[in-house]
Amino acid sequence: MSNQLIFRGVATALITPLTSSGVDYDKLGEVIDWQIEQGVNALVIAGTTGEGSTLDDVEHRAVVKYSVERVAGRVPVIAGTGSNDTAYAVSLTRYCCDVGADAMLVVTPYYNKATQKGLITMYKTIADASTKPLILYNVPSRTGVGIEPSTYAALAGYPNIAAIKEASGNISKIVETASLVGDKMTLYSGNDDQIVPILSMGGQGVISVLSNVAPKQTVELCDRWFRGDTAGAAKLQCELLPLIKALFCEVNPIPVKAAMAALGWCENYLRLPLTPLEPEHGKQLYELMKAQNLL
């Protein structure tokens, strides 16, 4: 566990409520308050689930600033500031530091990808520009480039590089990473179906899509683990698995946007190239939400 622990437990990778005319700040404020009331331990703003890739620059900055002000110190705010343009990532990181975000979530560069040497240089460049800790975000299924365990090891201990969000799904590599970085970086699960496995490797929580819809249950899963109730945590992980799978039946955040719209937290509106959930998938998702007493 890093000595720069950003949060322990559940950070919701929050949706951004959108309409055809822009960001719905009233709904964003309401969902922020509800999430905190439900007990989540941090909020990630303008990440993948928050459709950060289709927020324009003005919106991206405004959403982070508004969220920091609305949260008002109740939980840490983690801003998504990654880009395939390192200069833009630096600019966005500096801005989010200045407006009071507590940490930055920095994904690997998509499309242009990078060598492992390029990743090391990029992350050090962003860390040098930041006054807040960075969470390195590994999701090669989206970006086309993964962070190798040896690369984490090369970055471990570098100033402002504090944590890892692992969404590669590769448990063997995650175990190798944990063995290499030790207590120099905090490990978080980036996959809701692997919360307990990553906690078992010394992870300190999850950056979660599931907790948009089921915050109490996701918090309870982590709480059981940290209380020492390993069997109880594993049981809840398995119980939530059908809902987790439904939330990824199409690319995130398509299903979670539909789920949150059904709960009244937003319109079921996404920006192209994302399109609303297919009706047959929606039917299955809503049935599973009812089974968990969420609808």
Number of domains in the chain: 1
From the list 27, 132, 165, 257, the catalytic residue is 165
Task: Report the percentage of the chain scoring pLDDT > 70.
Answer: 99
Q: Is 135 left (phi over 0), alpha (psi -120 to 50) or beta?
A: beta
137 is catalytic: yes
Are 218 and 206 in contact by the 8 Å Cβ rule? The answer is yes
Q: In angstroms, rounded to a whole number, what is the distance separating the alpha carbons of residues 223 and 213? A: 18
Across all residues in the chain, what is the average pLDDT? Answer: 97
Q: Name which of 224, 189, 281 is nearest 289 in CA terms.
A: 281
Indicate whether 1 belongs to any domain.
Answer: no
Indicate whether 208 belongs to any domain.
Answer: yes
Task: Report the percentage of the chain scoring pLDDT > 90.
Answer: 99
* Mean predicted confidence (pLDDT) in 66-87: 98
Are 257 and 266 in contact by the 8 Å Cβ rule? The answer is yes
Question: For the segment 88-134, what is each residue's pLDDT rounded down to a tens digit?
Answer: 999 999 999 999 999 999 999 999 999 999 999 999 999 999 999 99
pLDDT score of 259 more than 60: yes
Q: What pLDDT is recorded for position 192?
A: 98
Two structure tokens written together for 103: 């940490």
113 is catalytic: no
Indicate whether 63 belongs to any domain.
Answer: yes
Question: What secondary structure, in 3-state letters, does the chain show?
Answer: CCCCCCCCEEEEECCCCEECCEECHHHHHHHHHHHHHCCCCEEEECCCCCCHHHCCHHHHHHHHHHHHHHHCCCCCEEEECCCCCHHHHHHHHHHHHHCCCCEEEEECCCCCCCCHHHHHHHHHHHHHHCCCCEEEEECHHHHCCCCCHHHHHHHCCCCCEEEEEECCCCHHHHHHHHHHHHHHCEEEECCHHHHHHHHCCCCCEEEECHHHHCHHHHHHHHHHHHCCCHHHHHHHHHHHHHHHHHCCCCCCCHHHHHHHHHCCCCCCCCCCCCCCCCHHHHHHHHHHHHHCCCC
From the list 123, 137, 152, 188, the catalytic residue is 137
Q: What is the identity of the amino acid at 13?
A: A
pLDDT score of 254 more than 70: yes
Give the residue carrying structure tokens 């199409």.
250
Indicate whether 258 belongs to any domain.
Answer: no
Question: For the segment 137-193, what is each residue's pLDDT rounded down to a tens digit?
Answer: 999 999 999 999 999 999 999 999 999 999 999 999 999 999 999 999 999 999 999
* Mean predicted confidence (pLDDT) in 234-246: 98
Buried b (16+ CB within 10 A) or exposed e, 8-27: bbbbbbbbbbbeeeebbeeb
Q: What pLDDT is recorded for position 146?
A: 97
CATH number (domain holding residue 132): 3.20.20.70
Domain holding 150, by residue range, is: 9-225
Indicate whether 38 belongs to any domain.
Answer: yes
Two structure tokens written together for 2: 């890093």
Q: What pLDDT is recorded for position 25?
A: 98
How far, CA to CA in Å, does 217 sit from each of 38, 191, 245, 254? 9, 15, 15, 21
Q: What pLDDT is recorded for position 84?
A: 96
Which residues are within 8 A (CB) of 242 and not within 5 positions of it... i.e. 6 or more apart? 288, 291
Indicate whether 246 belongs to any domain.
Answer: no
Per-residue pLDDT band for 4 (boundaries 50, 70, 90) equals confident
Indicate whether 60 belongs to any domain.
Answer: yes
Per-residue pLDDT band for 3 (boundaries 50, 70, 90) equals low
Indicate whether 265 belongs to any domain.
Answer: no
pLDDT score of 1 more than 70: no
